[in-house]
């Protein structure tokens, strides 16, 4: 076991207790806030259609995502894990997203049938 010196308990940029100073000493020293002037109302309404700009499709790793938890029975989980790891090195995320995309490509009747099969 080495007998090295213990790590310091203080940081050079953090003042010790009782040595801290306020960042601003007076409100008089603060710059005045900018004066906001409201924009004048439009003289005549414009009804020109606004063209929507289609953004290029980014990969799911770049786009903002929302986390969703999925509870699977052991058999489904093992099948998903085995297929993803032994076949093509596909993540569980990619498998679930592909399944959802396939589900949403079905018509309403096919979706209802699929959900009914899961509920049985």
Q: What is the pLDDT of residues 64-117, one digit of tens each?
A: 788 889 899 999 999 988 888 886 788 888 889 999 999 999 999 999 998 898
8 A C-beta contact, residue 84 and residue 95: yes
Q: What's the pLDDT at 105? A: 92
Domain assignment present for 85: yes
| Domain membership flag for residue 101 | yes
Task: Give residue 106's domain range.
Answer: 74-119
Is 98 inside any structural domain? Answer: yes
Q: What is the pLDDT of residue 77?
A: 92
Q: Cα 104 to chain center, whole Å?
A: 22
Determine the straight-line distance between the first and last CA of the chain, rounded to whole angstroms: 63
* Residue 4 resides in a domain: no
pLDDT mean across residues, the chain: 77
Q: Output the pLDDT for position 55.
A: 59
Query: What global pTM score does this model have?
Result: 0.45
Q: pLDDT tens digit string along 19-51?
A: 877 766 566 666 777 777 777 776 665 555 555
In the chain, how many domains are there? Answer: 1
- Whether 44 maps to a domain, the answer reads no
Measured N-to-C along each axis, helices 92-105 and 74-83 cross at an angle, to the nearest 10 degrees, of 110
DSSP collapsed to 3 states, the chain: CCCCCCCCCCCCCCCCCCCCCCCCCCHHHCCCCCCCCCCCCCCCCCCCCCCCCCCCCCCCCCCCCCCCCCCCCHHHHHHHHHHHHHHHCCCHHHHHHHHHHHHHHCCHHHHHHHHHHHHC
Asked if residues 98 and 90 have their Cβ atoms less than 8 Å apart, the reply is: no
Q: Is residue 110 part of a domain?
A: yes
Helix (H, G, I), strand (E, B), or coil: what is residue 107? coil
Higher pLDDT, 39 or 53: 39
- 108 occurs within a structural domain: yes
């Amino acid at each position: 076991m080495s007998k090295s010196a213990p790590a310091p308990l203080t940081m050079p940029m953090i003042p010790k207790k009782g040595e801290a100073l306020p960042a601003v000493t007076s409100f008089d020293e603060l710059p005045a806030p900018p004066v906001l002037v409201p924009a004048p109302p439009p003289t005549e309404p414009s009804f020109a259609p606004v063209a929507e700009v289609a953004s290029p499709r980014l990969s799911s790793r770049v786009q903002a995502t929302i986390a969703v938890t999925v509870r699977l029975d052991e058999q489904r989980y093992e099948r998903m894990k085995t297929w993803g790891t032994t076949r093509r090195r596909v993540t569980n995320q990619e498998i679930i997203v592909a399944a959802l995309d396939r589900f949403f490509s079905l018509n309403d009747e096919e979706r209802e049938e699929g959900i009914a099969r899961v509920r049985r």
